Structure formats: structure tokens, C-alpha cells
């Protein structure tokens, strides 16, 4: 069993706050910042600062949820998602907006590791995690994909009617609906009061994470994939303008890949539960590398949309597999800390992807950037496949593939 009622509640809450949060990022935030007089450089800082907050603080909030329980932090994160948008209408300068975005980033820094740890932990309590961990994470991951898909569209539609400050108020109202599923979550088993000091628990948690190879493997996989994703998000529109592709098709590219990612996530999770996490993750990375590598050759809208389908499906194979791989091996006393460490690696790639992509374009051109990212994904996918079918892997059936015999 997947533990559907609890999983549905946490997914519903995540979907509501993520959709609202994405409404506040694109295209609303740049327009609002520009109306306050922010220049291009400061605008970039405003947009990226919440990601930086998540990179630095996700492991900390994951650790605190390990110590004090998930529910209280889910409630705190939901209250931040709900309350902070109502402060945007009071902002009058770019500097004030930067500070508010920094505080708003605390909500995502809490929600990221705590929700993932909750899904993993509840699966273990229900006795389903061993057989359905990736599938549970796949269903849960639909919430974030749905937010990416719907948030910008809803915000753009509202901007045709309301002023930016008013749209932020709507964002707060939408986020407030997430309080209902959070309050309905099962919180009958609070954690026992820890006899270990916070300092000792912090040391033990980070030591456990550092000594868990699967955590670093999962984190590095997500990091590399997000390098390619965010470099593509940043520079594909500019590449399209340079090559004469309509910007409309670029928008459809991102919408199509996110839609396929959303729909296929549970399937990708179930497939990795059946066939092994590493082979499926490696297959997804190989598909992503092919899609990225062919982007410079996409001179027709139909070809571009075909690559979008491949890119979206590749993510549906990768992300449930990587998180489930980590969940199987991380000490369950430190699940939140581990999820936070992976989230920090992912956020670092969100920041580094556009920077690395920009450097590659500066040194060569757009095509070279896409091919370089594709090569990086290809190298990692080949290495994963070799690892999955090595002799050492034969003793790790779940991670490396159920189809591999564990008997000599």
C-alpha cells in the first residue's frame, strides 16, 4: 500500500504552496522588481537569493525536523508561505524586496527536506517504503511539477487584470488553503524527547550523511541534471531568438517537458522500484543527454516538442530513483538532514547552471554549451550503468537492478 490518505494530504499542501510560490517568481517578480527601480544586476540577485537561502539552510531545517518532528516544521513553512506574500505590497525599494525574498526563501528551505523526509518516513511506518519508495516519491513529486506548470500561467493571467502588488495578495490567499491538509496530517506520534544535545546530534547527523555514499551519489546525480536543466531554462530563449525560432515554441517546449515530467513521475518511480534505482536513473540521464545534445539541431517546432517530451520523461525517470536510492541507505534517525543535504546540492546546481552555461557560451557558442551539458550527462549515465552491472553491484539487488541475479 502507498499510504494514500497521508500522501494525498502532503501532496495537496505542497502543490498549493509550490503553485503559489511559482506565481510569485515568473513573470511577476521581475516585473515587480523593475517597477521598484531595480537594475538588471540587482534584479538577478533578487531572483536568485531565495535559491541561495535554500542551499545554505535546507540541511539545518532537515536536522531540526529530525529532532523536533516533521509536522511542526511543515506548519511553520506553511505559515511562512501564507504570511509573507501579504508583505509585498508594503515594499517600496529594491533593497527591501531583496530582504523579503531572503525571508521568503526560508519557506522553501523548510518545505524541501521536511516534506521529502515525511513521505519517506510515513512509507516506512506503513510498511510500504521498501517496495514502493520511488513510486511514493514519484506521486509526491507531481505537486512540484504541477506548480512549475500552472504557477507562471496563473500569474500572467492575473497580471492582465491586477497590479503586481495585488497578485502577491492572491498568492497569500492561495497558500493559506494549504493549512487545511497540513492540519489534517497524522501527528499522533511525536518524536521522543532527545537525550542528546543539539550539538552532538548535529555532528552525528552530518557525519552520517557524509559517510553515506548513496547520499552523495543521489545528490551528485541531481546536481548534474539540474546544471543542464537550468542552463537550458536560461539560454534556450536566447538561442531561439538567435536562430529564428518563435519564442512561443520555446514556451511550449518548457510547458510540454514539465507536463510529461508531471504525468510520468509515478510511472518512473514504479519502474525503478521494479528494475532498480541506478539502471533507471542512468537510463533517464542518457535520455536527457540525447535531448540536450539534439537541441542545436531542432530547427522545426515539431522536432523541438519531441525533444521536450524526451527531456520531461528523462526527469520522471531520474528524480524518484535518486531520492529512493538515498532513502534506502540513510540512517532513519537523520532522514531530514540527508534530504536537506541533497536539496542543498540541487540548489547549488540551480545557481551554477546558468553561470556555467554563460561561460561556455562566452568561450564558444550556444551549440557548444548544449553539447557540453549533454556530454556531462552521458559520461555520468555510462558510469552509472557500469556500476549497476559490475560484480560489486551483484550484492545490492534493490539499488542496482532487480533483474540482476544475486547468486553466482
Say what the pLDDT of residue 288 is: 92
Report which secondary-structure segment, H or E, holds 21: helix 4-23
Write down the H helix ranges in 177-243: 179-184, 198-210, 213-243
Query: Across 27-174, where does the E strand assignment appear?
Result: none
Say what the pLDDT of residue 5 is: 80
Q: Which domains does the chain have, with CATH numbers?
A: 1-183 (1.20.1250.20), 209-403 (1.20.1250.20)
Whether 319 contacts 277, CB under 8 Å:
no
Q: Which residues contact 234 (CB under 8 A, 6 or more apart)?
A: 353, 354, 357, 358
Residue in this structure with the C-alpha cell 552491472, named with its chain if needed:
389
- Residue 3: left if φ>0, alpha if ψ -120 to 50, beta else—which one? left
- The rounded distance, in Å, linking the Cα atoms of 37 and 354 is 24
Query: Across 222-319, where does the E strand assignment appear?
Result: none
- The rounded distance, in Å, linking the Cα atoms of 181 and 172 is 16
Residue in this structure with the C-alpha cell 506503513, named with its chain if needed:
126
Say what the pLDDT of residue 391 is: 42
Q: Residues 175-227: pLDDT tens digits?
A: 999 999 999 987 755 555 556 777 888 888 888 778 787 788 888 888 888 88
Flag residues of the chain having pLDDT under 50: 1, 129, 391-397, 400-408
Kindly state the cell numbers that stand for 295.
537541441
Say what the pLDDT of residue 231 is: 84
The torsion of the CA quartet 43, 45, 49, 50, rounded to 10 degrees, works out to 20
The pTM assigned to this predicted structure is 0.82
Say what the pLDDT of residue 189 is: 52
Say what the pLDDT of residue 198 is: 78
Say what the pLDDT of residue 388 is: 60
Amino acid at each position: 500500500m502507498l499510504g494514500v490518505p497521508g500522501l494525498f494530504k502532503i501532496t495537496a499542501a505542497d502543490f498549493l504552496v509550490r503553485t503559489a510560490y511559482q506565481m510569485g517568481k515568473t513573470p511577476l517578480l521581475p516585473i515587480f522588481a523593475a517597477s521598484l527601480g531595480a537594475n538588471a544586476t540587482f534584479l538577478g540577485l533578487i531572483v536568485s537569493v531565495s535559491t541561495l537561502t535554500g542551499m545554505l539552510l535546507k540541511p539545518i531545517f532537515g536536522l531540526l525536523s529530525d529532532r523536533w518532528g516533521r509536522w511542526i516544521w511543515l506548519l511553520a513553512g506553511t505559515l511562512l508561505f501564507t504570511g509573507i506574500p501579504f508583505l509585498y505590497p508594503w515594499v517600496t525599494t529594491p533593497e527591501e524586496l531583496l530582504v523579503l525574498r531572503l525571508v521568503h526563501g526560508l519557506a522553501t528551505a523548510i518545505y524541501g527536506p521536511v516534506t521529502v523526509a515525511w513521505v519517506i518516513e510515513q512509507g516506512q511506518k506503513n510498511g510500504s517504503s521498501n517496495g514502493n519508495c520511488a513510486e511514493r516519491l514519484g506521486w509526491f513529486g507531481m505537486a512540484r511539477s504541477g506548480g512549475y506548470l500552472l504557477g507562471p500561467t496563473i500569474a500572467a493571467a492575473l497580471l492582465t487584470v491586477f497590479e503586481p502588488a495585488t497578485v502577491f495578495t492572491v498568492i497569500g490567499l492561495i497558500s493559506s488553503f494549504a493549512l487545511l491538509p497540513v492540519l489534517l496530517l497524522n501527528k499522533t506520534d511525536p518524536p521522543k524527547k532527545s537525550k542528546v544535545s543539539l550539538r552532538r546530534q548535529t555532528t552525528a547527523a552530518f557525519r552520517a550523511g557524509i559517510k553515506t555514499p548513496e547520499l552523495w551519489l543521489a545528490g551528485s546525480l541531481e546536481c548534474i541534471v539540474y546544471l543542464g536543466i537550468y542552463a537550458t531554462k536560461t539560454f534556450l530563449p536566447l538561442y531561439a531568438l538567435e536562430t529564428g525560432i518563435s519564442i512561443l515554441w520555446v514556451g511550449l517546449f518548457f510547458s510540454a517537458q514539465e507536463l510529461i515530467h508531471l504525468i510520468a513521475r509515478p510511472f518512473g518511480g514504479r519502474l525503478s522500484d521494479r528494475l532498480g534505482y541506478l539502471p533507471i536513473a542512468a537510463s533517464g540521464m542518457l535520455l536527457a543527454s540525447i535531448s540536450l545534445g539534439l537541441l542545436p539541431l531542432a530547427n522545426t517546432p515539431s522536432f523541438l516538442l519531441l525533444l521536450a517530451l524526451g527531456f520531461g520523461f528523462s526527469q520522471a525517470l531520474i528524480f524518484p530513483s535518486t531520492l529512493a536510492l538515498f532513502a534506502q541507505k540513510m540512517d532513519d534517525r537523520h532522514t531530514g538532514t540527508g534530504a536537506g543535504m541533497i536539496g542543498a546540492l540541487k540548489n547549488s546546481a540551480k545557481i551554477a547552471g546558468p553561470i556555467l552555461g554563460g561561460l561556455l557560451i562566452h568561450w564558444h557558442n550556444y551549440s557548444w554549451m548544449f553539447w557540453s551539458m549533454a556530454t556531462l550527462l552521458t559520461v555520468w549515465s555510462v558510469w552509472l550503468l557500469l556500476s549497476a552491472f559490475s560484480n560489486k553491484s551483484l550484492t545490492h539487488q534493490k539499488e542496482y537492478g532487480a533483474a540482476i541475479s544475486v547468486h553466482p
